[in-house]
Amino acid sequence: MDLPPVGLGTMGIEDEAVVRTAIDCGYRHLDTAQIYDNESTVGAGIAAADTDRADLTVATKLWIDALEATAVRPATEASLDRLGLDAVDLLYVHRPRGDYDPETTLPAVEAVREAGLTAHVGLSNFDPDQLVVAREFLDKIAAHQVEFHPLFWRESLLTDAQKHDYPLVAYAPLAGGRVFEEPTILNIAAQHETTPAAVSIAWVTSYENVVTIPKASSQSHLEANLAAADLELTDAEIARIEAIEREEELFPE
Ligand SMILES: NC(=O)c1ccc[n+]([C@@H]2O[C@H](COP(=O)([O-])OP(=O)(O)OC[C@H]3O[C@@H](n4cnc5c(N)ncnc54)[C@H](OP(=O)(O)O)[C@@H]3O)[C@@H](O)[C@H]2O)c1
């Protein structure tokens, strides 16, 4: 899939005007999920924006209670109903948990793709071993969405994305705001006369095959995050950020 460097994470967005503003600012990749309980809001924002549906990549995710083979299609149709769309561009398995069973879940998700309800199938929060198994049952992994920011990232998942050439969609690129207090990030931001948010997004998107989906509500944050991918960090700065001690992940289960 060809995803732009910066898309919009919508977890916690409950105002369709934010989605509309984001699209008007230039966002073309919108990420929601059944568990965010805001697919209707995202759909209303898409409908209100001036941009053609065909120019947008809309992604949603099947929650862990919708992964039994017989549940996948009705759950996908319910998401489409809430979004007000005929199809999404990317349908993820949100987590390999709950009703997830690769042998039954993934063929059912493939069937939904073949029926035209999604253009692509993605995975989220999978371990490298789980990706290997998933590959046996999927035509291909179109994208893998994982926690990835200066305070937590997994090199093995980056390597898998680069080796198999699919986008790694980095979620929580600002660690929900925690990077704003990280001394190395603050120091590099001061050198570039920019914000820690911009440095964090620029670092995440500096890797081959990595795109990101920061969540933002205000127009100023939306615009700043979109522009941040243009900030160029030096190899030395990238290495300094890689050396930051990795804390525990924010979204373990
Ligand atoms: N697949 C998964 O399991 C999973 C799990 C977690 C998250 N996600 C996805 O990833 C997205 C992002 O993750 P997240 O929302 O947890 O965290 P995040 O994007 O790292 O951080 C969002 C926070 O940073 C603030 N912010 C955004 N831009 C800013 C800027 N330029 N300057 C200062 N503050 C800024 C936002 O405030 P304002 O809203 O006030 O602008 C918000 O409080 C989610 O919305 C969701 O789509 C996926």
How crowded is residue 248: how many other Cβ atoms within 10 Å of its Cβ? 7
DSSP at 130 = H
Question: In the chain, where are the structural domains located?
Answer: 8-176+209-216
Residues found in the chain:
253
Of ligand 1's listed atoms, the one at least distance from the Cα of 173 is 20
122 lines ligand 1 (CB under 6 A): no
Q: Which residues are catalytic?
A: 36
Provide the pLDDT confidence category of residue 249 given band limits of 50, 70 and 90.
Answer: confident
Going by CA atoms, what residue is nearest to atom 11 of ligand 1? 9
Order of strands across the sheet that contains 118-124 = 8-9, 29-31, 57-62, 88-93, 118-124, 144-147, 168-171, 210-212
Nearest to 54 by CA among 13, 10, 86, 20: 86
Radius of gyration of the chain (CA): 18
Query: What would the mean pLDDT of 151-156 be, rounded to a whole number?
Result: 96
For ligand 1, atom 41, the nearest C-alpha belongs to 216
Phi and psi at residue 147, to the nearest 5° = -65, 130
Q: What is the mean pLDDT of residues 51-75?
A: 98
CB of 247 shorter than 6 A to ligand 1: no
pLDDT tens digits, residue range 27-44? 999 999 999 999 999 999
Question: Secondary structure of the chain: what % helix, strand, coil (to 5)?
Answer: 45, 15, 40
- CATH pick for 8-176+209-216 out of 3.30.70.890, 3.20.20.100, 3.40.50.1220, 3.60.20.40: 3.20.20.100
Provide the pLDDT for residue 82: 98
In this structure, the number of other CB atoms found within 10 A of the CB of residue 105 comes to 23
Closest CA to 158 of 178, 130, 128: 128
In this predicted model, what pLDDT tens digit does every residue of 183-241 receive, in sequence order? Answer: 999 999 999 999 999 999 999 999 999 999 999 999 999 999 999 999 999 999 999 99
